[in-house]
Chains A and B, each alone.
Chain A
Amino acid sequence: MTNHWFRRVLPIALWQLKQDRVRIPVWIMSFLAVTLTTVTLFESLYPSAEDRMQLAHSVVNPAITALLGPAYGVDNYDVGAILAHQMLLFTAVVVAVMSILIVTRHTREGEEEGRAELISSLPVGRLSNLVSTLLVQFIVYAILSLFIGLALVSINIPSVTIEGSFLYGAALGVTGFFFAAVTAVMAQLSETARGTMGLSFAVLLTFYLIRAIGDVSYEPLSWFSPLGWMLESRVFVENNWWMIVLVFGVAVLIGMFAMYLNAIRDIGAGLLPSKSGKPHASKWLKSPLGFTIRMQRTSIIAWSIGMFVFGATYGSVLVETDTYVAEIEIMAQMLGEDLGTGIELIEQFIVMLGVIISIAATIPMILSVYRLSKEEKNNRIEQVAATALSRRKLLGSYVVTALIVSLLVMGSAAFGMALAGTLTLDELAFSTAFNAIIVYLPATWIMIGLAALFVGLGKFKGLTWLYLGYAFIVVYLGGILEFPSWMKSLSPYELVPGLPVEEMNWSALFSLLMIFVALIIMSLQVYSKRDLKG
């Protein structure tokens, strides 16, 4: 009977490990690197108990609690407590993402692509693949927990206790295993790999939000989220191992439920009725612009949320500017020589954040334009170009989409920073923080124009990224390396007036706009003149 269900679990497990022989070690190494870097950074940033108390004072606010979870042990905010508060939830969410990606690959993706059918035709048990996947995940997360624990112990910081270190690792590992089990269930429900991932990410997001709302406003609510249980272990402060056992126990139950679901369904089928789509296209979808936006909808939403969180994270630490600038020499150098104090210093900091956030927000805009070359690479352009749609309109609809992306991502980043900034800092006006980011829009459009030009040419696409990298280096290292001013002025971001410190300069923005228009005209021209590749 067992043979019937579980035959050949081990060979399949080994086979899966072999497929992931690069992927999994890279993930684990990254988690180790991030954890070790941050903990040593905290140690050097806040050497004295006073520094840490000051930090503790500034992090107890709703914005931080919603993002990172409640702060435990603030009355004795040592490096251990800081690590657990600032890093545990974030890292755990990324571990969950890793888990969702890997488990989807080995379950539904294999089934969708027909690999599972091939395996099932061999004398293997009906549940062998799923059991192997969960077994592999268990081993992987056991190793991750152990390594994180050992690494934390090895750096020898008194407040990072041995027990706490291993609990920290276990908290990460158990979250990974929990979402492995969740993904295993979703793989039984959905018919496609995309669907499996979508459902699993939705569960992750829901648990994160439940915890965020619970932690901020109504604590019992957090008990409805495994992320809440995991944080209840209060690593380095109280070390509640039982919470980890609870998460693990529920994960095992979920895993067993996945096996039950797997046993009662046909291979290739999903338990949720596959949502049949619309047989007709809406009026909106039938237009090239509507179509282009629709194809990028998910990533536009994701980037907007991401940039909002990015902005909000920086906005919520504005209140800490003094500490950062005082403690990190590089930061002072980046800001330049005439450092102010108080709100003046904060405004200087805001100017720098404005550039950096704008540069980050430019990434989705370039990606948005580059989608058109991806269409060409995937051989989908030929059929579109064979219709009565002109090349100008085709490229034009991608440029317009990228402009919409620019408004959305810059808007959400600016809104996030202004909102979190004004919530934590009384002297800051909403418009000051908002405008500091939004003023960079014309600079980001230069990048859209360049991206369009290279799509038009069909080559040199890497140059846009190089140029963006250059702009970043000018901001990041320009102050330290004392770049000459002409080198700075090659970056469009440097031409934008740094609000609120500098005066508004409409003519500079207008020149950028003109360059953008020129780039677009050129790109439309070259795009309609070249051979399409596919």
Chain B
Amino acid sequence: MSVLETQGITKRFGEVEALKGVDLNVGKGEVLGFIGPNGAGKSTTIRVLLGIIKANSGEAKIFGQDVWKDAVELHKRMAYVPGDVNLWPNLTGGQVIDYFISLRGAQVNKERKLELVERFQLDPTKKCGTYSKGNRQKVALIAAFAAEADLYILDEPTSGLDPLMERVFQQCVIEAKERGSSVLLSSHILSEVEKLCDHVAIIRDGAVIESGSLTELRHLTRTHLYIETKASVDLSDELGVFEWKQEKDGYSFQVDSDSLSSVMKKVSEHGLLKVESAPPTLEDLFMRHYETGGDNS
């Protein structure tokens, strides 16, 4: 059963069509990576899901309930972390954490809160006005993870964190997943998405243009290859070969998954000395969708 399911949600702001039909699906205990460039509609989608703005058409359900009509009821089981955390400068981080937890209708579990404060290395006695961006983000993260939720909606939650804290965040997500919670993680940091997410949805210009498990998506894309051969070779015009580049001792290029065997056959004719292959990174996937324009949408 889907925890979160949207079908063709659209949203217009005046003349601008911000969402042109977004379909998302997050299953129980699943982490969905929601990626796309700035202005693609990630945050707008999330704000529809949170019932902060109302979709013009389409259906958006969480736990089978309508995200707009049943917002308050739903929010009791959800936690949200925005990318840009704005807090009240004259309250301490600790106070704000407690306020958020209480607003969600949960009890503040002091032990759990202190444990997270410790892990994220936040000083909860300092006023929010003195916090850096990263520290403000920690406040929102601690508030989100200190009380268990069935669904976490995280909108670029690590943009201000250092690598060490990013790791703590990733552990938190993994723990939540192990508890059976679902996560919608919107992110720019593709390595993070690769590490945490089972499924990925790519949004561009207000529509989801690609979604599926990472393995499925990888299949759609190219493999990186580096080869060294006895004789010189030039495959730059070969079907399915991209970014052919001559290096010091060999060649690096990318191959479409479909053309892999034919290309390898060609290469071996030139006396193959060395082969290194790297699976396509999410970045390649991402770039392919953005650089090549509209061939998938």
Residues of chain A at the chain B interface (Cβ within 8 Å)? 191-192, 194, 274, 276-281, 285-288, 291, 295, 378-380, 382-390, 529, 531-532
Residues of A within 8 A of B80 (CB): 383, 386-387
Q: Which of B103-111, B172-180, B230-238, B287-295 contacts A (4 or more CB under 8 A)?
A: B103-111
Task: Decide if A285 touches B98 in the complex (CB within 8 Å).
Answer: yes
**Are B94 and A378 within 8 A (Cβ)?**
no
Q: Quick one: closest A residue to B117, CB to CB? A: A279
Cβ-defined contact, A385 with B98, below 8 A: no
A380 touches B88 (CB 8 A): yes
The answer to whether A278 and B95 have CB atoms under 8 Å apart is: yes
Contacts of B73 in A (CB 8 A): 388
Proximity bits, B98-133, A CB within 8 Å = 1, else 0? 111011110010100000010000011111011000
| B51: interface (CB < 8 Å) | yes
Residues of B within 8 A of A192 (CB): 127, 129-130
How far is B87's CA from A291's CA once the two chains are assembled, in angstroms? 13
Q: Do B108 and A386 touch (CB < 8 A)?
A: no
Q: How far is the CA of A295 from the CA of B86 in the complex (A)?
A: 15
A387 to chain B, nearest CB (A): 4
Which of B50, B103, B124, B153 is in CB contact (< 8 Å) with A279? B124
- B22-67 residues with Cβ-Cβ distance < 8 A to A are 47, 50-54
Residue of B nearest to A378 (CB): B86
Q: CB within 8 A of B86: which of A279, A280, A380, A389?
A: A380
Chain B residues whose CB sits within 8 angstroms of the CB of A383 once the complex forms = 80, 82, 85-86, 100, 140
A143 to B56, CA, bound (A): 62
The residue of chain A having its C-beta at the shortest distance from the C-beta of B95 within the complex is A281
Closest CB in chain B relative to A372 CB, distance in Å: 13
Q: Which residues of A contact B127 (CB under 8 A)?
A: 192, 277
Q: A276-B125, A276-B126, A278-B95 are in contact. Are A389 and B87 (CB under 8 A)?
A: no
Q: Are the C-beta atoms of A531 and B94 separated by less than 8 Å?
A: no
Kindly provide the distance from the CB of B267 to the nearest chain A CB, expressed in whole angstroms.
53
Find chain A residues with CB under 8 A from B140 CB. Answer: 383
Using CB atoms, name the residue of chain B closest to A283. B102
B239: CB under 8 A from chain A? no
What are the nearest 10 A-B pairs in CB distance? A281-B98, A277-B92, A387-B103, A279-B94, A276-B125, A531-B53, A286-B102, A386-B80, A281-B95, A279-B124
User: Which one of A191, A281, A390, A531 has the greatest number of beta carbons of chain B within 10 Å?
Assistant: A281
A278 touches B94 (CB 8 A): yes
Choose among B51, B54, B87, B130 the residue that contacts A385 (Cβ–Cβ < 8 A): B51
Residues on the A chain within 8 Å of B50, using CB: 382, 385-386
Q: How many residues of chain B get a CB closer than 8 Å to chain A's CBs?
A: 46
In angstroms, Cα B104 to Cα A186, docked, is 40
The contact of A280 among B54, B95, B104, by CB within 8 Å, is: B95
- Give 1 or 0 for each of B65-103: 1 = CB within 8 Å of chain A CB: 000000111011010101011111111101111111011
Q: Contact partner of A288 among B47, B71, B75, B103, CB < 8 A?
A: B103
Given A295-B88, A387-B104, are A532 and B99 neighbors across the interface (CB < 8 Å)? no
Q: A276-B126, A280-B108, A281-B98 are in contact. Are A386 and B92 (CB under 8 A)?
A: no
In the complex, what residues of A have CB within 8 A of residue B110's CB? 280
Bound complex: CA of A254 vs CA of B241, how far in Å? 77
Q: Which residue of B lies closest to A386 (CB)?
A: B80
Given contacts A286-B98, A380-B88, A390-B71, 8 further A-B contacts (CB under 8 A): A192-B129, A194-B89, A279-B94, A287-B102, A382-B82, A383-B85, A387-B105, A389-B75
- How many angstroms from the CA of A387 to the CA of B51 in the assembled complex? 10
- Closest-by-CB residue of A relative to B101 is A286
Determine if B99 and A291 form an interchain contact, defined as CB atoms under 8 angstroms apart. Answer: yes
A residues in contact with B124, CB < 8 Å: 279-280
Q: Is the beta-carbon distance between B98 and A384 smaller than 8 angstroms?
A: no
A488 to chain B, nearest CB (A): 41
Query: Which residue of the partner chain B has the closest CB to A384?
Result: B103
B52 with A382: CB separation less than 8 A: yes
A385-B95 in contact given A287-B102, A380-B88 (Cβ < 8 Å) = no
Q: How far is the CA of A278 from the CA of B124 in the complex (A)?
A: 8
**Contact between chains at B75 and A285 (CB < 8 Å):** no
Contact status A279-B72, CB under 8 Å: no
What are 10 A-B contacts defined by CB distance under 8 Å? Answer: A277-B95, A280-B124, A286-B108, A287-B102, A291-B99, A383-B82, A386-B75, A387-B80, A388-B103, A531-B52
How far is B85's CA from A385's CA once the two chains are assembled, in angstroms? 14
Nearest B-chain residue to A393, judged by Cβ: B72
Chain B residues within an 8 Å CB radius of A279: 92, 94-95, 117, 124-125
